[in-house]
Amino acid sequence: MTKLTELLRVIASHNGLNDKAALTTIICARFGLTRDRSVYYCSEFAVRFCSAKGTSFSNTVLSLSNLQKVDHLPFLVCVVTPQENRILLANTTMLRKVSHSSHELRVDNIKGSFNGSDILREFEGIPNTPENIERLFNIHAGEMGVATTGFLLGHALWLDRGPLARRLARLWPHAVLVALWQAIYSLAGYGVAASGAYVNPLREPMAFLAKLVERAPVLVLGQLTPVSADFWGMYPTAVKVTVFALALGLLVAFARVAWPRLATEQRQSSFWLVGVGLSLALICASGPQDRNLVFVGFGVAPLLAIAFARLVEAPPIQRWRRSLASTLAVFNLALAPVLLPIKCLAILGIAHMFLPVDNSIPRDPAITGKTLVVVWTQLEPAVYYSWSLRDHGGIPRPGRTRILATSREDVSITRLDEVTLRLHPGDGFFASEASKLFRSASNPFSKGDTVELSNTKATVTEVTVDGRPATVDFRFSAPLESPEWLWMRGSRQGLVKWMPPKVGETVMLAVLEHSLS
């Protein structure tokens, strides 16, 4: 049992004690806590004891400067009431606002304090209760938080005081933490290899640099304008060239207009620029998505604020500079707040597209003993979405899933024997940008390559000129008529039942007749 788990148990065992001082003494003695003013801490958690007469709790809890010291740990507020000892997670992610003395709050001037009423009682549908504290803290210290290392470095370079070597040396705990996380991440088997969308910078440095050059301007375009980065993978080549040129042009023009203004606040501007640059580089390891711009936006916002303030004080003489500044102001101050909830609601549209697939797959308990074999589908992610939906709702789903083809052209299907199907899509396998998520063009196939799963073996029998499989034989562990298989194919209604042809027969699956477009 961890110290945090034990702490929650001990506090709950003293419900009704109704004595803050006595409970503080008991907990400190039990866990050997160190005191820093009103905060008590150890290597695994920090806690602040408060008291209240009823369910409401609005007292001042802590200053932000003191919270900053322990924000890397689960920070708990224990509210002692006559009936029970209520526990809330109160790290910065769980704060609604800062109530007191925060008018001069800046990254280099941490001021203000928060009240009990400022602590969120729920975060994205997850109640702030003891049983969810570990989950909520994991969100607070999520994987994307690695991007904060850019801001830590920027702080050491531009805002911290003292000799440079000493400032950089202060970063060693963070460096050790990131290295430890990366080691555990790799040893546990997490990560990516040979993907056309995700690149591991440590394993594929040259491929990462190529993606950095391609994706960084597109992501900046998505940050500064309504042109979303989400559609980059769907663009035809000509549109990609146009969007990339637009992104580069905007970057150059913005730099020419903004930098003279940012230079007036060199220390702060440089801090934010370092944080933005390194955060941007990290998210370029995955496909361009606006949702990954959280920490980039965290740094871009103050940079825009500084630039806009200086532009108002001293408007540029050239018309194109004034036009660019006005356009960016409209995009970021007027349109962005309106578009944000719309973009968030767009996920509902994706769910609407995916639901027909889930609705078409049987839900009876017997399905758990079957392998779903989808001979073709246009929306491969819809199948995975179905499993997440069912796991969340406790709904039975197939024990295994095999998706054979996602072609945009007709698929020729030949049955070679009792257990083998040969598939030949008109455009080959891995033809779409979405399918390249699972295999990079830099890792081509060869004739004879095999992929073997528990009950299915795929063998490449023919390849295209660019190294993609053109024809693949799928050999199953039992006759294709066996009840252990659930055969389906994609359709406008999601998925529909499909029957394999007889031995020696070839059927043509007309994709356009069944596609959603």
DSSP 73-127: S-EEEEEE-SS-EEEEE-SGGGBS---BS-TT-BTTB---EEEGGGB-SEETTEE
152 or 475: which leads in pLDDT: 475
Rounded CA gap, 74 and 25, in Å? 20
Closest among 112, 31, 100 to 64, alpha carbons compared: 112
Residue 425 has pLDDT above 80, yes or no: yes
The pLDDT tens digits of the residues spanning 470-496 come to 999 999 999 999 999 999 999 887 899
- Percent of the chain at pLDDT > 90 equals 55
The pLDDT tens digits of the residues spanning 318-334 come to 999 999 999 999 999 99
DSSP for 383-398, written as a single string: HHHHHHHHHHHT----
User: Where is average pLDDT lowest: 32-46, 178-192, 434-448, 455-469?
Assistant: 178-192
- pLDDT band of residue 401 (cuts 50, 70, 90) is very high
User: Where is average pLDDT lowest: 29-38, 111-120, 365-374, 421-430?
Assistant: 111-120
The pLDDT tens digits of the residues spanning 352-389 come to 778 889 999 999 999 999 999 999 988 788 888 888 88
Lookup: tokens for 40: 């008590």
226 burial via Cβ count (<10 Å: 0-12, 13-18, 19+): middle
pLDDT score at 513: 57
- pLDDT band of residue 68 (cuts 50, 70, 90) is confident
User: Where is average pLDDT lowest: 115-119, 433-437, 474-478?
Assistant: 433-437
- Percent of the chain at pLDDT > 70 equals 95
pLDDT score at 126: 82
Q: How far is CA 145 from CA 15, 197, 283, 284, 380, in A?
A: 36, 21, 11, 15, 30
Helices marked H in 172-224 — which ranges?
A: 172-187, 205-224
pLDDT score at 137: 84
pLDDT score at 107: 47
**Polymer length in residues for the chain:** 517
Residue 94 has pLDDT above 80, yes or no: yes
pLDDT score at 410: 92
Residue 103 has pLDDT above 60, yes or no: no
Rounded CA gap, 476 and 236, in Å? 37
342 or 416: which leads in pLDDT: 416
Residue 512 has pLDDT above 70, yes or no: no
- pLDDT band of residue 102 (cuts 50, 70, 90) is very low
User: Where is average pLDDT lowest: 172-181, 249-258, 259-268, 315-324?
Assistant: 172-181
Which one-letter amino acid corresponds to residue 47?
Answer: V
Residue 145 has pLDDT above 70, yes or no: no
Average confidence score pLDDT of the chain: 88
Residue 140 has pLDDT above 80, yes or no: no
- pLDDT band of residue 453 (cuts 50, 70, 90) is very high
Rounded CA gap, 126 and 504, in Å? 55
Mean pLDDT confidence for 105-117: 68
pLDDT score at 222: 94
Residue 390 has pLDDT above 90, yes or no: no
Cα angle vertex 98, ends 93, 103, to 5°? 130
- Tell me the pairing of strands 371-374 and 400-403: parallel
- pLDDT band of residue 304 (cuts 50, 70, 90) is very high
Lookup: tokens for 356: 């027909």
Helix (H) or strand (E) holding 485: strand 485-491
